[in-house]
Amino acid sequence: MPGFPATPDDQPLAPPERLASLTEREREVMTLAAHGRSDTEIASALFVSPLTVRHHIQHAMTKLDARDRTQLVVIAYQNGLVAPRPAPGS
């Protein structure tokens, strides 16, 4: 795509050692976000406010140099925090 730098598919957006900078809660929130949970759903599951969830997401994005929540989810998959589910019927 013009205007976007090419990134090799085998190179993770954030190397695994960068994940070590995350707190346990930031990692937990990142994992739940990668499973498609909304801020409200994550907040309910962790007994915190949605604003607190947004803070954890923002801190994780900053530490991992993710430009948005989608990129944070990609980093979670690349680093094995979550794994793709098998397609239905397979």
Does 65 fall in a domain?
Answer: yes
Bigger pLDDT: 63 vs 18 = 63
Digit-coded pLDDT (tens) for 25-39: 999 999 999 999 999
Does 9 fall in a domain?
Answer: no
CATH number (domain holding residue 37): 1.10.10.10
Does 38 fall in a domain?
Answer: yes
Segment 12-30 shows an average pLDDT of: 89
Q: How confident is the model at residue 84, as a pLDDT?
A: 82
Does 87 fall in a domain?
Answer: no
Does 71 fall in a domain?
Answer: yes
Digit-coded pLDDT (tens) for 42-90: 999 999 999 999 999 999 999 999 999 999 999 999 998 998 887 787 6
Contact 53, 43 (CB under 8 A): yes
- Structural domain span for residue 60: 18-78
User: CA dihedral defined by 82, 83, 87, 90, rounded to 10 degrees?
Assistant: -140
Number of domains in the chain: 1
